[in-house]
């Protein structure tokens, strides 16, 4: 069990996170929906060890990970940009985490080749990051994170910079790979549709506070989630388009 307890964070006296508390089960993805500036990226950076909280706990099997250095938490943070090492080819980018752990060479070769095939980038291993597309670079970034078998993955709108088709492909790939590898992840997004697609559980973040829902129906029926408003909007659009096309009212 993963528990976040009472995380608070302020910048310049301005509260950004206000007593954020929730729990997650292992081998599942919690989608956190929130607008820009609501505090979701700050939360991920604190969990990843890139920022320090003012107070709170991050518990994994009752151990407070805030008491451990970032590199020892087993937590991987992925942002919108892949941030690959430009001087390393695709193989070495994926292998990086294994290299610094001094993994035997044959094991490195086997793991990188198997994972790259699963991610559909096996034909690009000798290329440099500048020689592949944005979607392929995001796959490489995902592979580099996944290959070290992290306890938790933190995904900060990882597909938002991609075009619509590539984003759809990456969402489907993530769902497939996360199920296969039993990934435990926190997936933040400002996109309602993406939150619903990606999450096994759902939460809403507003003005530094986080509310986790017990079920999909609870999320849909909460007026603050925006689901009903979005459904009503698209229903109105479809009704209008049908009326314009067929001359009905």
What is the secondary structure of 17-35 as a DSSP string? EEEEEEEE-SS-EEEEEE-
Residue length of the chain: 249
Taking 90 as the threshold, does the pLDDT of residue 71 lie above it?
Answer: no
Taking 60 as the threshold, does the pLDDT of residue 220 lie above it?
Answer: yes
Residue scoring higher pLDDT (52 or 220): 52
Residue 222: its pLDDT value, please? 85
Residue 224: its pLDDT value, please? 80
Express each pLDDT in 196-214 by its tens digit.
999 999 999 999 999 999 9
**E strands, the chain, where?**
2-11, 14-24, 29-34, 55-60, 63-64, 75-78, 152-156, 185-189, 201-206, 209-212
pLDDT, averaged across the chain: 89
Residue 216: its pLDDT value, please? 85
pTM score, two decimals?
Answer: 0.85
Q: What is the CA radius of gyration of the chain?
A: 20
Q: Across residues 50-58, what is the average pLDDT? A: 95
- Which SS3 state, helix, strand or coil, does residue 6 take? strand
Sheet strand arrangement including 2-11: 14-24, 2-11, 55-60, 63-64
Distance, CA of 91 to CA of 214 (rounded, Å): 41
Residue 237: its pLDDT value, please? 58
Residues 178/8, Cβ–Cβ less than 8 Å: no
Residues 4/54, Cβ–Cβ less than 8 Å: no
CB-neighbour burial class of residue 174 (10 A; exposed 0-12, middle 13-18, buried 19+): buried
β-sheet bridge partners, residue 17: 9
CA dihedral 5, 10, 14, 16 (to 10 degrees): -50
Distance, CA of 19 to CA of 16 (rounded, Å): 10
- List phi, psi (to 5°) of 25: -90, 155
Residue 157: its pLDDT value, please? 92
β-sheet bridge partners, residue 32: 188, 203
Residue 34: Cβ within 10 Å count? 22
């Amino acid at each position: 069990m993963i528990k976040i307890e009472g995380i608070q964070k302020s910048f310049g006296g301005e509260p950004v996170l206000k007593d954020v508390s929730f729990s997650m089960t292992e081998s599942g993805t919690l989608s956190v929906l929130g607008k820009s500036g609501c505090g979701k990226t700050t939360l991920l950076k604190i969990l990843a060890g890139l920022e320090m909280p003012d107070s709170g706990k991050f518990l994994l099997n009752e151990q407070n990970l805030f008491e451990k250095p970032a590199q020892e938490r087993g937590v991987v943070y992925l942002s919108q940009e892949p941030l690959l090492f430009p001087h390393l080819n695709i193989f070495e980018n994926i292998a990086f985490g294994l290299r610094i752990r001094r993994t035997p060479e044959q094991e490195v070769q086997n793991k990188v080749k198997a994972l790259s095939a699963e991610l559909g980038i096996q034909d690009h291993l000798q290329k440099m990051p500048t020689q592949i597309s944005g979607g392929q670079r995001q796959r490489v970034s995902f592979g580099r994170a996944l290959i070290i078998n992290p306890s938790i993955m933190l995904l900060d709108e990882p597909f938002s910079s991609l075009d619509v088709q590539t984003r759809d492909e990456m969402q489907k790939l993530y769902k497939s790979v996360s199920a296969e590898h039993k990934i435990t992840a926190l997936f933040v997004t400002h996109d309602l549709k993406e939150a619903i697609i990606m999450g096994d559980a759902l939460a809403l973040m507003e003005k530094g506070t986080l509310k986790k829902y017990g079920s999909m129906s609870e999320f849909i029926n909460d007026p603050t989630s925006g689901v009903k408003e979005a459904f009503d909007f698209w229903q109105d659009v479809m009704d209008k388009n049908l009326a314009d096309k067929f001359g009905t009212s």
